[in-house]
């Protein structure tokens, strides 16, 4: 018997084989989000800062379905397709969270889905 619970009322991932969020005990694990507009499925225009702003809206929608918000995030993993975007990502990311900030890791990667410049996943307790 599985001890994990899929958050079924969270915004869907479409036909992709993953859940937007899974609860395991008191911990909520969100799948990575890119800066895709839910209405179109396309990455928002305007560069990495605009993508981070949209990512935070997307994460916020999943968290709201779980009765949580960005203030409940304890850990974030950030994936950048171009480490040159670090400063712009960091500035936009900093606007989304209040102090004390969640623990965070930032990793440079070769590519991201939909040619996104940034992807962020979070953990909530």
CA of 112: how far to CAs of 33, 69, 79, 117, 122, in Å? 10, 25, 8, 7, 17
- 21-37 average pLDDT score: 93
Q: Report the topology of domain 33-121.
A: 60s Ribosomal Protein L30; Chain: A; (3.30.1330)
What's this model's pTM, rounded to 2 decimal places?
0.91
6-16 pLDDT, tens digit each: 665 556 556 66
Task: State whether residue 21 is helix, strand or coil.
Answer: strand
In the prediction, which pLDDT does 5 show? 64
59-116 pLDDT, tens digit each: 999 999 899 999 999 999 999 999 999 999 999 999 999 999 999 999 999 999 999 9
Instruction: Count Cβ atoms below 10 Å from residue 61 Cβ, excluding itself.
Output: 14
Catalytic machinery residues: 106
């Amino acid at each position: 018997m599985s001890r994990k619970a899929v958050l079924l009322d969270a915004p869907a991932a479409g036909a992709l084989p993953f859940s937007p969020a899974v609860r395991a005990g008191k911990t909520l694990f969100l799948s990575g989000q890119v800066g895709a507009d839910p209405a179109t499925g396309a990455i928002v225009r305007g560069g990495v800062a605009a993508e981070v702003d949209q990512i935070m809206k997307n994460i916020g929608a999943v968290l709201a379905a779980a009765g949580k918000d960005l203030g409940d995030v304890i850990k974030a993993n950030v994936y950048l397709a171009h480490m040159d975007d670090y400063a712009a990502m960091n500035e936009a990311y900093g606007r989304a969270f209040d102090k004390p900030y969640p623990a965070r890791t930032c990793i440079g990667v070769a590519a991201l889905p939909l040619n996104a410049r940034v992807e962020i996943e979070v953990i909530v307790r």
